[in-house]
Amino acid sequence: MARGARPHSGGPRGGAWRGKPIGRPGETYIEFVALGNMVRVIAVDAATGTEVTIVGPANAARADLERVALRKLRMVLARR
């Protein structure tokens, strides 16, 4: 697992992915990448491989950035 990435249980299932699933349904991987005064947060649904990215200020609370990324991932999965 990449540095800063951690599994997050819970979350929706669904969608399609071009490759093999990388985890169990409901499992989500979160990665934080510092970019100067910004942080890129990547959320990946383990069951489908669906990935979303958000960018926020580096001084924002990690929990807030994670919540926004998970909300965006759920929205993308619901559209499929």
Give the pLDDT of residue 58.
96
Contact status, residue 41 vs residue 29, Cβ threshold 8 Å: no
Greatest Cα-to-Cα distance within the chain, rounded to the nearest angstrom? 36
**Does residue 63 fall inside a structural domain?**
yes
On whether residue 1 sits in a domain, the answer given is no
Domain span at residue 61 reads 6-79
For residue 44, being part of any structural domain is answered with yes
Domain contains 49? yes
73 lies in a domain?
Answer: yes
Domain membership flag for residue 40? yes
Q: Which residue has the higher pLDDT, 49 or 72?
A: 72
- Give tens-digit pLDDT for 10-55: 444 444 444 555 566 779 999 999 999 999 999 999 988 899 999 9
- The domain tally of the chain equals 1
Q: Which amino acid is at 33?
A: V
User: Does some domain include residue 59?
Assistant: yes
Six-digit token string for 33: 């990448």
**Does 25 map to a domain?**
yes
pTM attached to this predicted model: 0.70
Q: Answer yes or no: is pLDDT of 56 > 80.
A: yes
Around Cβ 62, how many Cβ atoms within 10 Å? 13
